[in-house]
Amino acid sequence: MSESPVAGEASLALEDPHYRAAVVDLLGAIAYGEISAFERLAEDARMAPTLEDKVAIGSMASTEFGHVSMLLERLTALGADPYAAMAPFREPIDLFHAHTAPADWYESLIKAYVGDGMAADFYREIAAYLDTRTRDLIVASLTDAGQSRFVVDRVRSGIAADPRLGGRLALWGRRLMGEALTQAQRVAAERDALSALLAGGVDRPGLDLAAIGRMFSRITELHAARMDELGLDS
Amino acid sequence: MSESPVAGEASLALEDPHYRAAVVDLLGAIAYGEISAFERLAEDARMAPTLEDKVAIGSMASTEFGHVSMLLERLTALGADPYAAMAPFREPIDLFHAHTAPADWYESLIKAYVGDGMAADFYREIAAYLDTRTRDLIVASLTDAGQSRFVVDRVRSGIAADPRLGGRLALWGRRLMGEALTQAQRVAAERDALSALLAGGVDRPGLDLAAIGRMFSRITELHAARMDELGLDS
């Protein structure tokens, strides 16, 4: 075991270079996603109508950032350069943000809540196919600090005050979902290791097309539930 | 003791309403200062030349923000509305930032390091005159996550590559100090409770003019030491 770059761990899976490449890709994508989410949230905090709102959104931003260092450390422990691991995901993630720049405070709240929720659901689905240690790390990096209540309250009271807001924000939620799928498909087409991970290997169960379909159904249902929680049609 | 708003604590000092008002002011100023520093650092992170730099500055930003919640909780425990407590400090702190908007990445690094250092020295000096619990809270809220090394390395190698940078950044350090003193004097003139705190009370030692002078000498010396560490004249 001592020649393994992750010596001291009982994870045989990580000795398979294809599997390792996929894990490095995945952690790199999550890490850059969190850095990027932090930047956008911090920027959105400037639109906050009150200091209370600013503190709430700032706290979401720093929770995101708080997960970055453990992901980078793990990438290093896996023998990867964390910055090289993040590089392939900068363009799709930056494009996602460029195409979904919030026009106001409500759009920014929804994006924080719904966008973050979608990403978390997707990574959690994938994590189910990974070794325990990687799975635990991913799940830990996706916990929020319970700010969801704040977003739901703000959006619901905004809609109560101006019912037309509901229609606009429902469209916004659909646009976020559409843009996320576009970029996710792009990543899947470009990153062979990641796609192969989902397809499985000789000694590792994977997902057939029907299973991938069910995974997307679950993600779509969770998205609809979140929109519903906000008082919005999905 | 049970009628005290801070029941269960052995701090008699906090039963004095003047002292309490001063502590509320001080914690409000520190909390708004951290929120504000967070926002500026997050904004500066966008100027970062590399993703490594972005992560380093983002980590400084979220460390600042990580201190906010404990300050707000303590203000609430003292019977104050944390947002009302921060309100009087928004204008001077926002003005400080408006007057010291960094023109480039180096100015932003220096501001993060030197500005933050000055504020920390000042609050630590004042904390020495406070009850233990308040003092411990303030000291805990001023710890950085060891990012100083990063700033020093970046600035020193920037100057090595372009020696003219040193002159410009030395002026910038002086401007930061001058602007901080301007806003601090303004706060001292407007916030009676805070000034009275420094002056002391019947049962509490305070600072006479000579002691205030020595305090500013210490702060200035620490500023000079930091500038020297960066390879800059103060």
pLDDT tens digits for A112-129? 899 888 989 989 988 888
Partners of A86 on chain B (C-beta within 8 Å) are 51
Q: For residues B28 and B6, what is the distance between their CA atoms, to the nearest angstrom? A: 17
Closest partner residue to A51 (CB to CB) among B43, B65, B86 is B86
Q: What is the largest CA-CA distance in chain A?
A: 64
DSSP character at residue B201: B
- With CB atoms and an 8 Å threshold, state whether A51 touches B72: no
pTM, entire model: 0.82
- The pLDDT assigned to A181 comes to 87
Q: A55 and B68: CB-CB below 8 Å? A: yes
Rounded Cα–Cα distance for residues A44 and A112 (Å): 9
Nearest-Cα distance to chain B for A217, in Å, is 35
Of B51, B61, B83, which has the smallest distance from its Cβ to A51's Cβ?
B83
Asked if B59's CB is within 8 angstroms of A65's CB, the reply is: yes
Instruction: Please give the average per-residue pLDDT across A2-14, as a whole number.
Output: 55
Q: Which residues of B touch A62 (CB under 8 A)?
A: 38, 61-62, 65-66
Q: Look at residue A47 and tell me whether its pLDDT is greater than 90.
A: no
Q: Which of A39, A44, A70 to mutate to test the interface with B (most CBs of B within 10 A)?
A: A39
- Locate the chain B residue with the closest alpha carbon to A44: B39
* Nearest residue of B to residue A90, measured between CA atoms: B51
B54 to chain A: nearest residue by CA?
A35
Query: What pLDDT sits at residue A213?
Result: 83
Query: Given this model, what pLDDT does residue A8 score?
Result: 45
Give the other-Cβ count within 10 Å of B25's Cβ.
22
DSSP assignment, residue A4?
A: S
Which pLDDT band, with edges at 50, 70 and 90, does A203 fall under? Answer: low
Alpha helices in chain B (DSSP H): 17-44, 51-66, 68-77, 82-99, 105-110, 116-127, 132-141, 148-161, 164-190, 192-199, 209-229
Query: In the prediction, which pLDDT does B202 show?
Result: 62
Is the reported ipTM for this assembly greater than 0.85?
no
User: In this predicted model, which residue has the larger pLDDT, B93 or A213?
Assistant: B93
Q: Which residue has the tokens 């991938």?
A: A212
Dihedral (Cα; B192, B195, B200, B201), 10-degree rounding: 0
* pLDDT beneath 50: ranges in chain B: 1-8, 10
Nearest to B35 among A39, A58, A83 (CB): A58
- The pLDDT score that the predictor gives to residue A4 is 45
CA dist A201 to A7, A39, B21, Å? 23, 37, 66
Q: Which of B55, B59, B65 sits opposite A59 (nearest CB)?
A: B65
Percent with pLDDT over 90 in chain A: 50
Q: Which pLDDT band, with edges at 50, 70 and 90, does A100 fall under?
A: very high
Q: Check residue A18 and give its pLDDT.
A: 85
Average pLDDT over residues A222-231: 92
The mean-pLDDT minimum among A109-123, A165-179, A199-213, B37-51 falls in A199-213
Vertex B159 angle, CA B156 and B164, to 5°:
155
- Predicted confidence at residue B145, as pLDDT, reads 57
Determine whether the interchain pair A35/B55 forms a contact, defined as Cβ–Cβ distance below 8 Å.
yes
Task: Give the mean model confidence (pLDDT) for residues A171-192.
Answer: 87
Give me the pLDDT at residue B88, please.
94
**Please, how many CA atoms are within 13 Å of residue A3, restricted to the half-sphere of its CB?**
1
> Using CB atoms, which residue from A42, A50, A69 is nearest to B42?
A42
Residue of B nearest to A82 (CA): B52
Name all contacts of A193-196 with Cβ < 8 Å and 24+ positions apart: A193/A18, A193/A21, A193/A22, A193/A24, A193/A25, A194/A22, A194/A25, A194/A26, A194/A29, A196/A18, A196/A22
CA distance A42 to chain B (A): 6
Pick among A32, A40, A53, A65 to test the B interface (most B CBs inside 10 A): A65
A140-164 per-position pLDDT tens digit: 998 775 677 889 999 999 999 999 9
Local confidence band at A3 (pLDDT 50, 70, 90 cut-offs): very low
pLDDT at A184: 84
Tokens at A91, concatenated: 């363009």
